[in-house]
Amino acid sequence: MDRIATPLLDMAYETGGPVDGIPVLLLHGWPDDAHGWKKVAPRLHAAGFRTFAPWWRGHGETRFHSPDTMRDGRAVALACDALDFADALGLDRFAVAGHDWGGRAAYALAAIAPERLSAIASLAIGYTPRGAFPVPDFEQSRRWWYQWFMTFDGGAEALRDDPIGFDRLQWDTWSPPGWYDEADFVEASDSFRNPDWVAVTLHAYRSRWGREATDPRYASRQATIEATETLRVPTLMIQGVSDHCDPPEHSEGQERYFTGGYRRVLLPDVGHFPAREAPARVAEEVIAHFTANG
């Protein structure tokens, strides 16, 4: 594990691949951590890519410099963290593969800094034009129970009391039964013990559905996201057919939002964690996409 300082964070990350390889940021999802890419990254290295997999704010060994910084968990904050991370590494232009929260951050990056990106790949998460979150239909609302649960104080307190149990429930229900090894969950769950994990997690969802205060430093970039309907960065979307959190029908028909090219790949018998469940296929698709758009 390496560390690097950005304006707000001391970011932990893992890196690998040829030092002169095409740079790729691997952005993890929720509830997960940078180890979610551990079976994909070596395949990217063998194909000549240099990968950088950071732990998000509130995860793992990443720490805020100041206790006074708002623990903002929105996609715009994560995207700005990713830009700060790339700046600290000296990366002018790079590709991004993001899962779940990382996928939302990738779309946000494509809106606020398209000139920095050669291509993006989003796993499990479809695009939400203008960063909007309309209240979904009843069936999707049932799948997103955990988001509503965190918006009331009793749910927030339950999360504080048992974050590991809460996260295990998502791992147990978002993909086909038996998809993960216990050792992998234990490894990822260490990241959920970060002292800011609960605050960042709660803010991410409470700000999505309620009137939560937000960090004003992101106001201009959030305005850019809200003004952006279409993206010009070449985009790959990888969706598990058996995703029980964000089902494939919700990512259908989005080609019209991408002017720089768009391809959607469906993986049979795969749920919400494609990089963990089908790393060889994910790597194959990501390598092809990033090679074609290098």
Which CATH homologous superfamily contains domain 2-292? Alpha/Beta hydrolase fold, catalytic domain (3.40.50.1820)
| Mean pLDDT across the chain | 97
User: pLDDT exceeding 90 applies to what percent of the chain?
Assistant: 99
In terms of Cα–Cα distance, which of 87, 97, 145 is closest to 121? 97
CA nearest neighbour of 34 among 60, 5, 58, 65: 60
Residue in this structure with the two tokens 């988001």, named with its chain if needed: 147
pLDDT tens by residue, 34-69: 999 999 999 999 999 999 999 999 999 999 999 999
Given the structure tokens 């969802």, which residue do they identify? 205
Mean pLDDT of 244-270: 96
Residues in the chain, total: 294
Express each pLDDT in 113-152 by its tens digit.
999 999 999 999 999 999 999 999 999 999 999 999 999 9
pLDDT of amino acid 51: 98
Beta bridge partners of 206: none
Main-chain dihedrals φ then ψ at residue 215, nearest 5 degrees: -75, 120
CB 163, CB 197: distance < 8 Å: yes
Give the whole-number percent of the chain exceeding pLDDT 70.
Answer: 100
Query: HSE of 218 in the Cβ direction (CA atoms, 13 Å)?
Result: 25
Q: How far is CA 59 from CA 63, 72, 247, in A?
A: 8, 13, 26
**pLDDT reported for residue 50:** 98
State the DSSP string of 201-265: HHHHHHHHHS-----GGGHHHHHHHHT---B-S-EEEEEETT-SSS-GGGGTT-GGGBSS-EEEE
Q: What is the mean pLDDT of residues 218-247?
A: 98
With DSSP H G I counted as helix, E B as strand and the rest as coil, what are the percentages for the chain, rounded to 5? 45, 20, 35
**Cα–Cα distance, 175 to 241 (Å, whole number):** 10
- Which of helix, strand or coil describes residue 108? helix
Q: pLDDT at position 294, please?
A: 83
CA distance 82 to 111: 13
Is the confidence at residue 211, as pLDDT, over 90? no
CA 202 to chain centre: 16
